[in-house]
Amino acid sequence: MTRTVYLNGEYLPEDEAKISIFDRGFLMADGVYEVTSVLGGKLIDFEGHAVRLQRSLDELEMQHPSSRDDLLEVHRELVRLNDITDGMIYLQITRGSAGDRDFAYPSKDTPPTIVLFTQAKPGMADSPMAKTGMKVISIADERWGRRDIKTVQLLYPSMGKMMAKAAGCDDAWMVEDGAVTEGTSNNAYIVKGNTIITRQLSHDILHGITRAAVLRFAAEAQMQVEERPFTIEEAQAADEAFITSASTFVMPVVEIDGAAIRAGTPGPVAARLREIYLDESRKAAL
């Protein structure tokens, strides 16, 4: 089935949506993005994604082509036009095209490019991996220094996923100066007793929207949260490990660099947080 996508104010069949070869997203990875999940035809954590999008644009002195309300409307219209029950909406904004290649930013009146498309993922919240858990390897974090800006420079995370796949694993946790930063497309956590440990916010990691919600729910459920760096060795000796992201929600990790966590079985804290996150986010979905 041909999807209907959104490009610069128009809803178009996917094969009719075209952008310039001079678009800076294509030439310079000069663009930012968001991925919002859809469950039961409704948007999960839309507000958080809209706020982070604005922050990414501001950090890069890029114009926002759309208001929050218009953006919400476009998301909802794409869900409707593509009949999405469960899945994701991908949004990308680039600095647009000035009709040539130049390192310098084009003038402020160059219109940004905005693209949105849907990805149907029926039964997305019932992923079998939530029951079995995932295996990760560790790799060096070789990304740029502003990982808090959600840019489309995803080559190193792609390489990380390929390294994980080659090792027979599901993902990679990145390590810098001896401590885990985050997963290739998710935030990383360990659990020790009643304490959830995850790296503090800084330029070193993406400020996950799911992370913010999960830490809030954890605190409400009287769990202790410690925001600090942790090592792979500490993670391997932890009671539990898990990741969060908009598309995986909360997903248990049962093996790190070949060492089993909890004898290779998902733990109760990850399971509980997943349940709370899914319940609460569905209730608040737009």
Residues that bind ligand PLP (CB under 6 A): 35, 182, 185-187, 206, 208-211, 244-246
166: CB partners within 8 A, 6+ apart: none
Structure tokens at 249: 């929600």
Shortest distance in whole angstroms from residue 140 CB to ligand PLP: 15
Residue type, 110: T
Q: 253 near 261, Cβ under 8 Å?
A: yes
Least Å from the CB of residue 243 to ligand PLP: 8
Bridge pairing between strands 171-176 and 113-120: unpaired
Q: Which DSSP state fits 253?
A: E
DSSP H helical ranges for 167-257: 209-220, 232-236
The active-site residue out of 108, 121, 135, 150 is: 150
Closer to ligand PLP at the Cβ: 206 or 215? 206
- By DSSP bridging, strand 10-13 and strand 240-245 are unpaired
Q: Confirm whether 150 is a catalytic residue.
A: yes
Closest separation in Å from C-beta 22 to ligand PLP: 27
CA–CA separation, 212 vs 164, rounded Å? 26
Rank residues 44 and 232 by Cβ distance to ligand PLP and give the closer one: 44
Tokens of 183: 């997963």
Q: CB–CB of 135/253 below 8 Å?
A: yes
Q: How far is the CB of 213 from ligand PLP (least distance, A)?
A: 8
Phi, psi angle pair for 58, to nearest 5°: -60, -45
Give the residue with the Cβ less far from ligand PLP, 35 or 284: 35
Q: Which residue has the tokens 């760096």?
A: 229
CA atoms within 13 A on the CB side of 138: 21
- Is residue 272 a contact partner of residue 278, using CB atoms and an 8 Å limit? no
Amino acid at 217: F
Nearer to ligand PLP by Cβ, of 4 and 189: the residue is 189
Would you say 82 or 244 has its CB closer to ligand PLP?
244
Phi and psi, residue 113, nearest 5°: -100, 135
- Kindly state the smallest distance separating residue 154's Cβ from ligand PLP, in Å: 8
CB of 225 to ligand PLP, least distance (A): 16
The Cα 167–Cα 150 span in angstroms is: 27
Name the residues annotated as catalytic. 150
